[in-house]
Structure 1
Amino acid sequence: MIRFLHGADFHLDSAFGALPPGQAAARRRESRELALRLADYVKEHGIDLVLLAGDLFDSASPFRETGEQLAAALGQMRARVFISPGNHDWYGPGSPWETVDWPENVYVFKENRLTAVEVPERNLVIHGAAFSGPEQPESLLAGFTAPADGKCHIGLLHGELDGAEARYGPIRREEAAASGLCYLALGHVHKRTAPLTLGRTVCAWPGCPEGRGFDELGEKGFYEGTISDGGEVSLTFVPFARHRYEVLEVDVTGKEPRAAVEAALPPETAGDLYRILLTGETGEGGAGAAAIQEALADRFYALEVRDRTRMAEDLWRRAEEDSLRGLFLRELRQRRKQAETEAERAEIDLAARFGLAALDHRDLG
């Protein structure tokens, strides 16, 4: 039996530009430590084989120190390591795949076509390829079929299945089904996918091991798997991220907004980055998003609170008053009825709140 680890899309040297400078620098340091943590995991869990499916760097020209740190960490693994560069960290002149001194246990695929590496002590063959530029419009799996030689054949590629556009290593289902591979280890898709069996080939994307923004939500990590002597593949997802990005929507209708938020929060959030969206109906003053954010900020690694509430319907009823307030509300109510999108209606609600506050000499902050 072979025990393997399948990871991808580390995106080392990502800027984390949405965070304050101190936190962004801390996250970059933590991302460089990812491979060291993986090395410890590999040693502790008896992993034989490590498959890394591209975009380990965020660009083809990362800091040299980042490449050297990754090489040192991979060298600590008591396992064979195979890497297929992707569209962000494509193989080319001056890339870290060419300039860094990679340890003996690490093999980097360098050609823009499938090539094979034998692992005779495991009766195993790894087939992989590299992006040679930021785009790869042709399938690197096209026309490939592993020989029926009694060996376990594994594919390692950066690409997407049935992608909307053929720019990043498109793979077709029929190609995977005809490949004869025991396992196809894939990268590029940052959201983990459940294992998919095409023909007799098991395919999977582990997603990225750390989220970098609110488009990469939830638990992140890698796949740990086994391949039996008969070629059967079993996969287990291993959560490994130090920080998670989460979006929480809280309806505050008829509630005190801060209390509603606190009631909706899970118990442990100190290491997470949260975006809380306040929804429902509120009074003229809104939900007090800024005050909630200030009050709860130290419960999170980072927090932003956004007010997406709408003005309560009974406030619009005051548009019938024979007053400046009524005239103001009638004008905005008519514009609101004519608005075509929810975003336009939200802007009108906000204008109403600030206008009413100005009429009443109140400060909304």
Structure 2
Amino acid sequence: MKFIHSADWQLGKPYGRFEPEVRAGLSEARFDAIDTLGRTAVDHGAQHVVVAGDIFDTEGPEDRTIVQAISRMSRHSCRWWLLPGNHDFARSGGLWDRVRQRASENIVILSTPEPVEMNPGVWLLPAPLEHRHNLEDPTARFDSMETPGATLRIGLAHGSIRDFGSQGETKNQIAPDRARRSNLDYLALGDWHGALRVDGRTWYAGTPEVDRFQRDDPGQALVVGLSTDAEPSVTPIRTGRFQWLLRDWMVSDQAAFDAECELLLGAIDAPTTLLRLTLAGITSLGDRISMLGRLENDIGHQLRYLDVRADHLVGRPSEEDIANLAVEGMLGAAARMLNTRIEGGGEDAAVAKRALERLFVEYSREKSA
């Protein structure tokens, strides 16, 4: 038995903090991931794709989001098994009734905790969430679920196998030894947004399209092979288009900064990369301005998105900077006064640093005009 394990599609996610062009690309990539999963199933000879919750980002998505999801799944030959999670939990008259009205025959909605025979002897045990936060282990019912003639038992659930802290999506706690307790050959989980092995029979698939600055890995799904009385074969497969990268650079001058830029651009596909970059170090004021200028006018245009944090990149005017300003009469006098305040520290130093930088920026603009 071979199948694809996926989770956390969160279709319809708004990405409200981004500009419209970026939002559109990120949203479309989530729908494209469905096609990637369908093709992956065919490529690996898998008849089924099981999705462990949070197919939709909310319990009330727009009709277009539902229709797009169904149309993407319908054009692939595999069978899709959809489990309600905490973002799209099951309730009477809610989202899943809307989906069911439009769904094609190859889409199965697992909105009730009842075992289903996927193939002869292969049973799927679902644990749909009926509320955003459940007080009890949603997989506890697996212990008593009857699966007549079962050769393989596959659990499907959405929740936390352990405390993921602020990065976890739910408070729905699942027993870490659930696979053993319920005699499962495999427990397919959703909630954690990266692929994660809990034990040989218990895995999180992660999201097929990453949606936050958390890890370098792109979106993934798992190709799972099962056979009786053997540990599952689990192979992560890249499904995501975009990478969300966190980088911290310690730079001392323009040359060091440029070297970091070249290393970055040589290692990524810039148009599909979102980068949160934190800069730190002490450099000349001129170099600081030049570095930030390159990020704004060059690197930022190459990447899909760039978020720069430069509060800890300290730009101090060099003697050459002051000398250049000094010949400008009043500008030079102002620069010397501000530099004295910076060197003296105290409450005014931070304000003086920003004022001197602004003065130097305006001076540089006038010189280049």
Fold-level match, TM-score > 0.5? yes
Structure number with the higher helix fraction is 2
Return the letter of the residue paired with 1:49: H
Distance 1:364 1:276, change over 3 A: farther
Q: Name the CA distance, whole Å, in 2 between partners of 1:71 and 1:26.
A: 20
* Unmatched 5+ stretches in structure 2: 323-335
Partner of 1:103: 104
Return the letter of the residue paired with 1:54: G
3-state SS of 2:97 partner: helix
* Unmatched 5+ stretches in structure 1: 337-347
| Larger deviation, residues 161-170 vs 204-213 | 161-170
Partner of 1:339: none
Partner of 1:142: 140
Partner of 1:13: 12
* Deviation digits for residues 263-291 of structure 1 (CA, Å, limit 9, x no counterpart): 33142323211222222221235353244
Q: TM-score, normalised by structure 2?
A: 0.80
| Larger deviation, residues 269-278 vs 236-245 | 269-278
Q: Name the CA distance, whole Å, in 1 between partners of 2:15 and 2:258.
A: 31
* Deviation digits for residues 236-293 of structure 1 (CA, Å, limit 9, x no counterpart): 1111111111122222114436513323314232321122222222123535324422
Partner of 1:305: 308
Q: TM-score, normalised by structure 1?
A: 0.81
Q: Tell me, yes or no, if the aligned pair for 2:33 and 2:239 is still in contact at 8 Å.
A: no
> RMSD value over aligned CA atoms?
3.0
Q: Name the CA distance, whole Å, in 1 between partners of 2:108 and 2:309.
A: 47
Q: Name the CA distance, whole Å, in 2 between partners of 1:134 and 1:364.
A: 56
Q: Tell me, yes or no, if the aligned pair for 1:247 and 1:276 is still in contact at 8 Å.
A: yes
Partner of 1:342: none
* Deviation digits for residues 61-106 of structure 1 (CA, Å, limit 9, x no counterpart): 1111221222233233333322211011111244332112222232
Partner of 1:202: 201
3-state SS of 1:355 partner: helix
Return the letter of the residue paired with 1:282: T
| Larger deviation, residues 131-140 vs 263-272 | 263-272
3-state SS of 1:185 partner: strand
Q: How many residues align?
A: 338
Q: Among the aligned pairs, what percent are the same residue?
A: 22
3-state SS of 2:298 partner: helix
Distance 1:281 1:330, change over 3 A: closer
* Deviation digits for residues 38-75 of structure 1 (CA, Å, limit 9, x no counterpart): 22222233212211001111101111122122223323
Partner of 2:185: 182
Q: How far is 1:134 from its partner?
A: 1.9
Distance 1:49 1:326, change over 3 A: closer
* Deviation digits for residues 148-183 of structure 1 (CA, Å, limit 9, x no counterpart): 965210000011112268953211224443121111
Q: Tell me, yes or no, if the aligned pair for 1:216 and 1:245 is still in contact at 8 Å.
A: yes
* Deviation digits for residues 309-330 of structure 1 (CA, Å, limit 9, x no counterpart): 1356999xx9xxxx74465135
Partner of 2:123: 125
Partner of 1:341: none
Distance 1:34 1:217, change over 3 A: same
Partner of 2:331: none
Q: Name the CA distance, whole Å, in 2 between partners of 1:130 and 1:205.
A: 16
